Amino acid sequence: MNPGPLYTLFRNGVPEVQISGEIWISDGKRTLFQSSEWNSKYPARSLLKPFQFLATGISRSSVFSDWWVAALGSISGTEEQVSHLKRWTSGEAFKNSVGKLESSGIGFTHSCFSKHLAILQACEKNGWSLDSYRSIEHPYHSELAEILSSLLGKRKEAFEFVVDGCKLPTPVLRMDEMARLFQKLVQGGKSDPSLLRIRDWMISNPDWIGGPKRIDSRLMRDNPGLLVAKEGADGLLAIGVLPSPKWSEGLGIVVKLAGGYQPVPAALALKPVLDNLGLQCNVPIPEGQTLQYHFRPWEQPREKWIDISPLLNAKIAVWPEDTPFARDIALDTATGDPLSLSSIRTSLHVGAHTDSPLHFGKGKKGIDQVDVTKYHGLCQIIEVKKNPHTEIKPEDVTNVEIVTPRVLFKTNSYPDPSQFNRDFNALSPELVEHLAKLGVVLVGIDTPSIDLFESKELRSHHATLANEMAILEGIDLRKVEPGIYELRSIPLRIEGGDASPVRALLRSPTRPSEF
């Protein structure tokens, strides 16, 4: 799983509930939007019912039977639905199937009754065993895998199955695969004429896909002829948007909530997507709350990483009398050698780096023993403009609200990493103490040290030691604006190391934005 925040509900401006999950949008050929980096995979569960019905082969019949529409959804077991199901299945042709289901605890009010009924009817028609239809070895599940293979262009043998809540094998599919399936569904006859029938039956009978109060049924009623929708178990909701002038092949949209089955929050998560498409999503925000989304449809959720590490080469400046950076080349493919091989000799305090407590504290931890969790996560960049060779003090940041556990200071007082200047700005020990009280676990600066050049006591370094804070020095923030970012700057595991160079990276997190 790779859930991220999708939206936050506020009460009088105070965050109260945050809904996390993943959203995927596909036009069948490419991914148009994904809210997370990783293409997570999940048991498809009830999301797959239209395709499970397709695998029965029943939809290929030229004669339509009313009960088929019930097999396309997860019925709510309303009095009206149960009445219709009992009437539709009262004939001799259903006697064995209905009896078998009821004896196994799947009665007319069960949300998967009609799906099981369709599979058993297919068993009788094809001469397949009724007793073993829940086994992954049964011909029906082989047929389902064959259909998914054809629709997704994936080897049949590559599908993984797990057992669903109703004891049927269900395939595990990636987010993009689920989205593509619903794009194929609304595309209809171009991929399989039977899919066109299933799509149109769903559109014509929205209340049989769930029920009068179910989100999937409501979305179809509110957008007649424009989309199909299907809830899945444990936080899944899929929507197929029918072809339009802009999206000639239709769209497949899937949301998966990290918190499991929450149909109304799932629909709210997709509201900006549907609004963007001109579709209705009449799901109200809970009374007394306001909502902020953490993503924009059709835009990738995060910017690329920003490298704030100065380039390490022979030009990089180091502290006076410290070991300069040098790279010795032993072998080089550019000159005909079979491989390239080199070694480096350098101060550990080169470029973007972190000091270990051992650097300034006798008997303290080396860099191999520090808590690396402090070096990655949300950080805040604060720009402070002061005269050269001065310390940043608490009063310099009184107008800034500290909202992250890592703070990096942009001073612009060390403008050229290849030229060492001694009049850079630094942090005062009082500022370090102030930040520690606010819960800050890492402080950083765009200079060679958090203490002034001529400092011998290193009071700010010792303030971090007293408060168990990590240090990041020598970062390059010249092209970075103040704000909230995600930081990655893991030190090397150098035994007993007094410091370590780091590859320091930033990117904008998915932040709340009004629609």
Instruction: Provide the annotated active-site residues.
Output: 359
C-beta neighbour count of 189 within 10 angstroms: 11
d(CA 226, CA 243): 8
In 3D space, the residue among 264, 186, 215, 270 whose CA is nearest the CA of residue 46 turns out to be 215
Q: Work out whether strand 4-11 and strand 169-174 pair parallel, antiparallel, or are unpaired.
A: unpaired
Cβ atoms of residues 23 and 254 within 8 Å: yes
Residue type, 341: L
Q: 3-class secondary structure for 213-271?
A: CCHHHHHHHHCCCCEEEEEECCCEEEEEECCCCCCCCCEEEEEEECCCCCHHHHHHHHH
Q: Which residues contact 396 (CB under 8 A, 6 or more apart)?
A: 384, 386, 431
DSSP lists the bridge partners of residue 21 as: 4, 257
Residue type, 147: I
Cβ atoms of residues 66 and 200 within 8 Å: no
d(CA 392, CA 66): 76
Place of tokens 């909701």: 237
DSSP 141: H
Angle formed by the axes of helices 193-204 and 49-56, nearest 10°: 130
Cα–Cα distance list, 277 to 165, 187, 226, 251, 408 (Å): 34, 17, 10, 10, 40
In 3D space, the residue among 49, 22, 381 whose CA is nearest the CA of residue 208 turns out to be 49
Cβ atoms of residues 505 and 379 within 8 Å: no
